[in-house]
Structure 1
Amino acid sequence: MSEPLPRRRLAGLFLARWTNPTGLLLRRHAPRALLTALFAAAFTVQAVGALLPHLPLLLAATVASVAAEGVLHRWQRGMVTVLAKSHADLTVRHVLRDLLLVFGLLRLGEQDRETVYAPLVAGLLAFYALHCAIQALSVLVRRTRTLPVVTRNIDASALRLSPAPPVLLRRPGHRLLVFGLPSTAGLLATAATGDLRCAALGIALSLGLALMGLFDLLLWLLPSRRPAGEQEVLDWFDAWLAEYKPTVGLYFSGGASSAYQANMWLEPLAGLEGRPLIVLRERFMVQKIAATDVPIVCLPKVSTLMRLEQSTLQVLIHPSNSGKTSQILRIPTLKHTFVNHGESDKLSSCNPYAKAYDEVWVAGPAARERYALAEVGVEDKDVVEIGRPQLDAVRPYAGPPTGPRGGAADGHFTTVLYAPTWEGWDGNPGNTSVIEAGENLVRALLADPGVRLLYKPHPLTGSVDPRAGEADLLIRDLIRAANRRRTGERPAANGELAGLTKELDALTSIDCRSGADQVERMLLQSTPEPGRAEAVARAARAWDEAYWASLPAWEHQVVTDVRPALYSCFNRADLLISDVSSVVSDFLASGKPYAVANTSGLPQETFREMFPTVRAATVLAPDAGGVPGLLEAVRHPEKDELVAARAELKRHLLGPDEPTSQERFNAAAQALCAAARGHRVRMAERSAAELPGQRLETATPVTEPKRGPGSERRPETEPEPATPSR
């Protein structure tokens, strides 16, 4: 017989199993599985206790079931949807719980007492009928408060906006749990004591709460408490467009995790000449857009979206493609340009959909060449080089890291930013290094005592391939374990970061209660304070400095929150390790060394040839064997043979430093606005020619403004007509 394993070894085996990818996945789903098992066991035991009958079993199972409901709604909200899809939502669970209690009471009591319980059953039925009535009224109230246009940074007080009804009346699950708790408690007390008055009192309380909720919702349907109707809102929106006179807009549609694609263009948009506007399609996206002074309108319906055709809006800028993009492209009075949310050597940066736009704005010559080689239908004359206005926040290279360990400016560590991209939709193994190389890269970096690692994964990591999500969790565990092995002095907490966080949160958010609906948020987010955008920028810079100062120089970091931003990590890093992605292109603005992981299976020379952004990079194999040499070149610039190549590649990818990207961006926008106005003039002239006697109403034309230097575009075959000035 073999001897038992020592406790220490058993603990090690358990830890190894718990921290491997399968264990990480198990850890993620263990709470849900446990809660599901608890519900199933509670209802099963409750049914057994009612059938036998067995009072202790019935009472214990009911209490456990109610406690599980509290845990579910407090800590496992995702399970609510899972149970609802299984037709086991809260209403079903609550009815079943009360039904089993009543059945148990009937089994526990004498046969001639069945008639005594009839009023209690009738009371329960009346309560559930009221619950259904409240839900119907709640839906009706919600519809009256669902406006065809949702706005931010626009004074919409004329629409009779008001605070939302209590959240308890709008959420059927929470409402039934709270309103039905007295009846369940009363039935439990009756089962324990045999006193019917407990059940009667509990059911009466539930009925009273339901009647109060029903009456409150009825008041919200009074004409004086309703917001403006649909036609009134549309008329108001048309009047606002006529008064504001927008010229250039940012159009965006996407999922909740894609808001960053629009947010990166907010500051450049606000810096344009004219009157900018942000056009959204999903209602939830209104709150996902970061702090800005630019007016925001959300137009969910196509019929409402088409009202932009009669406005002064001339150009729409598209940072991403979506299924709803084709709807806005129908408007003939607008010019559309695609700017993308980042440029890389991936095929997604040369999507054939780009040929649907009037122009494609890119950073530099590399993207122009990329479209020409891709042959996706985008003509070279429609490609305009504007640089990357967002990169003004990236600091240039200021020399190698210094210090006894060859570290950052504080004299301790070399800061390495590992920012892999996600796995993409096509399943190409070369998209992300997380799956095949992530663990090896992180282990190699953590093995160097002079390295401080910043790990910033893509927000969509694991959304397509579960292996990427598992690898991401493993990397985070490795970093936490490495931090536990390191010791050192921590900066003294002086409260500065907390104060700056509070200030920045106050500037970037509106003090809305958690139960506020869209109408209430419109009321509170009507007009921004003048100069708030500048105040946010100043507060963000101060927050960045305080954040990094609050962290020990030796501590590795996993960066997944909105703050600090990617560019803030750029400024702290001495070296970037990434994949073929827009992160590499943007990091080139700093001029610092960078490396790209090759998980495509291609030979290194072929890999460099296929992906131009890699030409000035150190290419790392999946085994991460080149990490020590890479770190040596970072710490000793005389060994860095790619300095000149990075400078040349920066010009090729991002264009010249002068004029600035913002100036080129503005010049391209004004030129496309002029083209849109010229198109309107021609269309009006043709309509007048086809309909003799019709009055021609167009602005007095003037010559088209010249394009700024750097916004290269080949001449049109037809000269642009005269257009009105700004």
Structure 2
Amino acid sequence: MPSAGLPLRRVVQLAALFTLLVLFAAQLAGALLAYVPLFVVASAGGVALDLYLQQRQPGLIAVLGKVRFEAVSRQLLRDMLIVVALVRLPKVNAMEERALVLLLLGCYGLHFLCQAVSVLVRRNRTLPILTRNIDTSGLRLSPAPPRVLARLQSRRLLTFMLPATAGLLTTSATAQNVWALAGLAASLALFVGGTVYLGTWLLPKKRTPGEARVLNWLNAWLADYRPTVGMYFSGGATSAYQANMWLGTLAELDAKPIIVLRERFMVQKIDATDVPIISIPKVAHLMHLEQSTLKVLLHPANSGKTSQVLRIPTIKHAFTNHGESDKLSSCNPYAKAYDEVWVAGPAARDRYQLADIGIDDRDVVEVGRPQLAPITPYAGPPADGTRTTVLYAPTWEGWTDDPGNTSVILAGENIVRELLADPGVRLLYKPHPMTGSVDPRAGAADRRIRTMIAEANERRGAGSAVAPGAAAELARRTAALDALTTTSFRGSADEAERMLLQSRPEEGRAEAVAAATAAWEEAYWASFPEDEHLVVTAARPGIYGCFNQADLLISDVSSVVSDYLSSEKPYAVANTSGRSEADFRANFPTVRAATILSPEAKEVPGLLAAVRDPGKDAFAAARGELKQHLLGPSDPPSLARFNRAALDLCDAADARNRRAAARAAAEFPGQRAVEETADHEVVVDDEAEATAEAASDAAEATELVEVSEGPEAGEAQQRTADATETADDEEAGAETGSEQVRS
């Protein structure tokens, strides 16, 4: 059994690494001692283990690569030991040994040639933009070459060298060179055939269009589609939820919507939607939006790349955020960079003014929270009067050292202990996904809480029965939802092929996903006994589904509280900030209608009593008032207010662009054709022709540079540091050029 401090995965990796080293040592011993059985078994075992590691332990392979013991080095060492063994065998002719060595070196030469071709193919298939839900037939994209040829050089070498290795080992066992010659010939044929086949992707029929052609296609598509309102998003792999929460709202606007991303991998992180998606990694290419009809960009999050799109003067920008709370992070001074800041209700407006960070109150627009429509309103205390479902959803510790960011460290275990002590409570524990990512104490407390819940379920026993067939129904609903939300690609598919396969939006897919999600959540909750405590950590069910199951929420100062208030159900907030209760309520408006819990959580029994008996609920009226203060009025609906704000900002963008055009016309009046002389017309024509020729030469030069110097297209989340530096340098140069053109 592995020790408690060492995960099983690490034990397996260490064992595999140790075995690989032992096999190399045994192969060396067998070669030096000319002991054929040991040598053959060790060599064959090493190849088999290497292939297994390539398939099942890519993490260990990456570690070996960092210490310069990559697949080429391992295979070269293995073949060198085979050559040593052949030299040590007296029955093998020396001249024949030299021929075998030359053929072996030929295999490596062809391997490196194939690798060079694969680099050219990958660079050619790296498009300057990526799209989804957009018809790309005009680009004539082609499917990707086999992955083993184009990307998996380690697996390609091991696989193509199998015949050679098998033949050499057979020769070492039988002293008959024919086996080695046959194996080496087969490997040479594989390398030659693979290289030639891979090279066909550089021919015109399969070749991906160059940067200039792709950007011209983008301009043509923008001119045809004529987008008006878009969402701009940039972030890490775990931040996609910040954009996904706005997909439904964006699709419902009275506008031609579009989603603009900056990271390539983010294209596949966006949930099901019919809205066109464009990923534009480079700043120079991003500036093509300036010539489009796009009027407004919505920003659900701040990022380092946000400043790059803010340079486009023809587009108005609104910061929508991805949630509101009383945290300091909800009043970021960066918000000054946007034309408008859209908030849910008066509370956020007050928050910005109290923060005194330079946000003009005239730029704050109250739009509500359209995403909260799925949350069901308060329907009174628990129906049976005995079982109370409590959702404990603490936030994470945050990037700052603000006291009381999360209750998990100081109060989490006490809260859970008090809840589990009540036999009428069913606990749903949904910690923030980033809990423990900054402060290890939070991660340790989270693990202890999960252990407490598991032990409580064991003590409670089997609990209430589950409806017959509930598990089968959940499996069926899961398969149906996965079929809608998971886009299946073959293993060899690269970004260009995915772009080709996702070139047509599936009409009604978003609505089908919403219906399938609702059906899945119903099956999910029905698959557990009604009194079983649950730890909810997966992406499904979402937080709103947990809201609808709960009679009571316990959380921290976070956007979870603001969203939950839309239901007007009772809630409590843990005060681990060290402030007094009066000071805590005064500084955090979202807790004014909450029961405040101390770190000891002694208030939990009284809180549960108030939830079960409305007569003891002292905050019922306050919750209704606070809801309107936080989220704005219910009439007109939030979506209508959001849509009105988008249309108004579009009008503001139009007005600004008309003023700019009028000023430009006044300052630089056009030349009057009637006053031009024939000689001047000839000069202008000559200059235009020279300019066109120069542009043509530049385009050809760009295409040549793209083939020889373009960035290598690896997996989106596995880029190397060198490639990142190259991209940054190119981006910086593009930014400078863009600024020069603008000025």
What range is the shorter-chain TM-score in?
A: 0.7 to 0.9
Partner Cα separation in structure 1 for residue 640 and residue 553 of structure 2: 28
Shift of 1:544: 1.9
Partner Cα separation in structure 1 for residue 171 and residue 415 of structure 2: 64
Aligned-partner residue type, residue 517 of structure 1? D
**2-side partners of 1:429 and 1:104: how far apart?**
67
Partner of residue 294, structure 1: 275
Equivalent in the alignment of 1:430: 404
* Structure 1: segments with no counterpart, 5+ residues: 1-13, 408-413, 696-726
Aligned counterpart, 1:154: 134
Q: Provide TM-score, normalisation by structure 1.
A: 0.86
Does the CA contact (< 8 Å) of 1:163 and 1:516 recur in 2? yes
1:110 aligns to what? 90
| 1:663 equivalent in alignment to 2:643 | no
Deviation (angstroms), 1:51: 4.5
- Report which stretch shifted further, 74-83 or 362-371: 74-83
Counterpart position of 1:487 = 462
1:99 to 66, 80, 85: 80
Partner amino acid, structure 2, of 1:490: V
Deviations 1:59-116 (A, max 9, x none): 5544554454344334433333333233232222332333334334444x23975554
Change (3 A) 1:51 1:375: farther
Partner of 2:354: 373
1:440 offset after TM fit, Å?
4.0
- Secondary structure of the corresponding residue to residue 260 of structure 2: strand
* Match of residue 219, structure 2, among 223, 238, 249: 238
Report deviation, 1:491.
Answer: 3.0
Residue of 552, 560, 566 corresponding to 1:589: 566
CA distance in 1: counterparts of 2:34 and 2:164, whole angstroms = 21
Q: RMSD in angstroms over aligned alpha carbons?
A: 2.7
TM-superposed CA distance for 1:382, in Å, is 0.8
Relative contact order, higher structure (CA 8 A, sep 6+): 2
2:547 is the counterpart of 1:536? no
Match for residue 688 of structure 1 among 662, 665, 670: 665
- Per the alignment, in what secondary structure is the counterpart of residue 337 of structure 1? strand
Superimposed CA distance per residue, residues 467-520 of structure 1 (whole angstroms, 9 cap, x where no aligned partner): 444444444444444444431433322643333333333333434223211221
3-state SS, counterpart of residue 666 of structure 1: helix
Q: Summarize deviations over 1:248-306 as a string: whole Å, max 9, x none.
A: 00000111111100000000111111101100111111111011111111111111110
**Would you say the 8 A contact 1:688–1:694 is kept in 2?**
no
Question: What residue in structure 1 maps to residue 527 of structure 2?
Answer: 550
Aligned-partner SS, 1:297: strand
Equivalent residue letter for 2:462: T
Q: Which residue of 2 aligns with 1:85?
A: 66
SS in 2 for 1:453: strand
Q: Does 2:252 align with 1:278?
A: no
| Alignment partners' CA distance in 2, 1:76 and 1:519 | 27
The answer as to 2:108 corresponding to 1:128 is yes
Against the structure 1 CA distance between its residues 38 and 441, is the aligned structure 2 distance closer, same or farther, given a 3 Å change threshold?
Answer: farther
TM-superposed CA distance for 1:345, in Å, is 1.4
1:424 CA drift (Å): 2.0
Match of 1:709 in 2: none
After TM superposition, the structure 1 = structure 2 runs for residues 188-267 of structure 1, keeping only pairs within 5 Å, are 188-192=169-173, 194-267=175-248
Q: 1:50 to 1:474 in 2, by over 3 A?
A: farther
Q: CA deviation at 1:547?
A: 2.1
Deviations 1:424-470 (A, max 9, x none): 22244532333444444444434443333323232333433444444
Could you say if the C-alpha distance between residues 266 and 650 of structure 1 is closer, same or farther in structure 2, counting changes exceeding 3 Å? Answer: same
Which secondary structure does the structure 2 equivalent of 1:223 belong to? coil
Q: How many pairs align?
A: 668
CA gap 1:531/1:42 in 2 versus in 1, 3 angstroms: same
Alpha-carbon distance, 1:195 to partner: 4.8
Partner of 1:145: 125
What SS does structure 2 have at the residue aligned with 1:218? helix
Give the unaligned 5+ runs of structure 2: 673-743
- Flag the 1:100–1:274 CA change in 2: closer, same or farther, 3 A: same
In the other structure, the counterpart of 2:374 is: 393
Structure 1 residues 345 and 524: alpha-carbon distance in aligned structure 2, compared to 1, 3 A threshold: same
Distance 1:441 1:197 in 2: 76
Letter in 2 for 1:558: V
Q: Of the candidates 429, 447, 453, which is equivalent to residue 455 of structure 1?
A: 429
Q: Secondary structure of the residue that 1:393 maps to in structure 2?
A: coil
Q: Does the 8 Å CA contact 2:372/2:563 hold for their aligned counterparts?
A: yes
Between the aligned residues of both structures, percent identity stands at: 61
Aligned pair in 2 of structure 1 residues 67, 345: CA closer, same or farther (>3 Å)?
A: farther
The residue identity in structure 2 corresponding to 1:667 is R
What amino acid is the match of 1:487?
A
Q: Distance in 1 between matches of 2:326 and 2:81?
A: 63
Q: Which stretch of the first structure deviates more once superposed, 241-250 or 112-121?
A: 112-121
Q: Report the more deviating stretch, 34-43 or 215-224.
A: 34-43
Give TM-score, length-normalised by structure 2.
0.84
Output aligned runs, 1:8-27, within 5 Å: 18=4, 23=5, 26=7
* CA–CA separation in structure 2 for the residues paired with 1:470 and 1:51: 52
The answer to whether the Cα contact below 8 Å between 1:256 and 1:288 also exists between their aligned partners in 2 is yes
Measured in 1, the distance between the counterparts of 2:588 and 2:438 equals 24
Preserved contact between residue 92 and residue 175 of structure 2 (Cα < 8 Å): no
CA distance in 1, matches of 2:671, 2:255: 31
* Residues 423 and 429, structure 1, Cα contact 8 Å, conserved in 2: no
Partner of 2:258, secondary structure, is strand
> What amino acid is aligned across from residue 295 of structure 2 in structure 1?
Q
Q: 1:402 to 1:247 in 2, by over 3 A?
A: same
Give the SS at the match of 1:251.
strand
Q: Are residue 331 (structure 1) and residue 312 (structure 2) matched? A: yes
Map of 2:146 onto structure 1: 166
Q: 1:523 aligned to 2:500?
A: yes
For residues 28 and 244 of structure 1, the distance between their equivalents in structure 2, rounded to whole angstroms, comes to: 50
- Aligned with 1:225: secondary structure? coil
CA distance 1:686–1:544, shift in 2 (3 Å): same
- Residue 43 of structure 1 and its aligned partner are, at CA, apart by 3.6
Distance 1:633 1:177, change over 3 A: farther
